[in-house]
């Protein structure tokens, strides 16, 4: 399941990025995740992304919450209950806190990042269950790039970029922090394409994604995400190819959009 979320997220930076003009409080996007099983794409899980307002003693933050859960008929085969969330500035989408809490087929893992932007560091906490039921914990301080973000904050930042200013074939790279490591992501703008979806027929920006120094994604231009070519830039479709197969992420519903 983490591969599905990574595919939905990986993109950034040959476009300008300013103040948030796209992502509102109260938005909710629901997706169906499909995987190729015995030659047929089969719907196996639902992915939900939603935003909300969080007030602290000193500021107001935007909570970016992403959950993934297998459908009940697949739970006996491989039950997934994943939570990813990032707490960001509502004006710049800069993350201050990130949490990842996953339970996949009985495998449990928790990650937390506290960003210290002034020192370009992250305070990381990792927890796992041992075979005897006790919890193993590891704390680290990581040095990061000044613009490095987590997966969830990156996806929402993507939707706030001026993609219309890119030329076909333009490419660049960006670093995303995942499992305490910065991953270099390479992006290529492939132009526009019209996609039929559950929210209608949409003209979309087509973006190819690859990872530098990693074999997680396979094929040349085989990993693509489509964003509506409008002010909302809603991800309506993603196709991915990984070492153990291929699949898709398709939009099911979109509510609370800003525009």
A 10 A CB-CB count for 228 gives 22
Segment 206-223 mean pLDDT:
71
Phi, psi for 51 (deg, rounded to 5): -115, 150
Return the bridge partners of 201, or none.
196
Q: Is the dihedral of CA 80, 242, 100, 64 positive or negative?
A: negative
A 10 A CB-CB count for 155 gives 25
Segment 66-84 mean pLDDT:
94
| Residue 130 pLDDT | 83
- The full DSSP string for 131-192 is TTS-EEEEEEEEE--TT-B-HHHHHHHHTTS-GGGPPTT-EEEEEEEETTEEEEEEEEEEEE
User: Strand 235-242 and strand 135-143: pairing?
Assistant: unpaired
Average pLDDT over the chain, rounded to an integer: 87
Fold of 2-255: YmcC-like fold (2.40.360)
Cα–Cα distance, 73 to 58 (Å, whole number): 45
| 10: pLDDT strictly greater than 70 | no
- The full DSSP string for 57-69 is SS-EEEEEEEEEE
* Residues counted in the chain: 259
Phi, psi for 9 (deg, rounded to 5): -110, -35
Point out the least confidently predicted range of 40-49, 116-125, 186-195, 235-244. 235-244
| Residue 8 pLDDT | 45
| Residue 18 pLDDT | 65
User: Which among 229, 157, 155, 240 has a CA at the least distance from the CA of 192?
Assistant: 229
Question: pLDDT tens for residues 124-162?
Answer: 999 998 878 889 999 999 999 988 989 899 889 878 888
pTM as predicted? 0.88
Point out the least confidently predicted range of 52-56, 175-179, 208-212. 208-212
Question: pLDDT tens for residues 57-74?
Answer: 889 999 999 999 999 999
| Residue 187 pLDDT | 76
| 220: pLDDT strictly greater than 70 | no
| Residue 218 pLDDT | 59
Strand residue runs (E) in 89-146: 95-104, 107-116, 121-129, 135-143
What are the Cα distances from residue 195, in Å, to 25, 151, 220, 229? Answer: 26, 25, 21, 11
Question: pLDDT tens for residues 103-132?
Answer: 998 899 999 999 999 999 999 999 998 878
A 10 A CB-CB count for 117 gives 13
8 Å CB contact between 238 and 215: no
Residue 6: pLDDT band with limits 50, 70, 90: very low
| Residue 157 pLDDT | 85
8 Å CB contact between 184 and 213: yes
Point out the least confidently predicted range of 6-20, 189-203, 213-227. 6-20
Cα–Cα distance, 6 to 29 (Å, whole number): 16
Cα–Cα distance, 81 to 101 (Å, whole number): 9
| Residue 163 pLDDT | 83
| Residue 243 pLDDT | 66
| Residue 152 pLDDT | 92
């Amino acid at each position: 399941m983490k591969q599905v979320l990574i595919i939905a997220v990986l993109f950034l930076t040959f476009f300008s990025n300013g103040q948030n003009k796209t992502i509102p409080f109260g938005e909710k996007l629901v997706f169906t995740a499909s995987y190729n099983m015995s030659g047929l794409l089969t719907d196996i899980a639902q992915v939900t992304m939603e935003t909300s307002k969080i007030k602290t003693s000193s500021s107001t933050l935007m909570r970016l919450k992403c959950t993934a859960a297998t459908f009940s008929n697949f739970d006996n085969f491989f039950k997934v209950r994943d939570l990813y969330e990032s707490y960001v500035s509502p004006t710049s989408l800069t993350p201050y806190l990130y949490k990842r809490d996953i339970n996949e087929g009985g495998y449990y893992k928790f990650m937390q990042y506290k960003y210290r932007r002034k020192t370009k560091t992250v305070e990381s906490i990792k927890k796992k269950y041992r075979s005897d039921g006790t919890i193993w914990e590891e704390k680290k301080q990581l040095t990061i790039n000044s613009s490095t973000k987590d997966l969830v904050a990156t996806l929402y930042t993507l939707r706030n970029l001026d993609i219309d200013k890119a030329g076909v074939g333009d490419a660049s790279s960006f670093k995303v922090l995942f499992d305490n490591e910065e991953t270099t992501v390479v992006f290529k703008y492939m132009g526009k394409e019209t996609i039929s979806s559950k929210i209608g027929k949409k003209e979309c920006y087509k973006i190819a994604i690859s990872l530098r120094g990693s074999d997680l994604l396979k094929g040349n231009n085989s990993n693509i995400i489509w964003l509506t070519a409008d002010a909302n830039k809603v991800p309506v479709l993603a196709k991915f190819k990984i070492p153990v197969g291929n699949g898709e992420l398709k939009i099911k519903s979109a509510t609370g959009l800003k525009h």
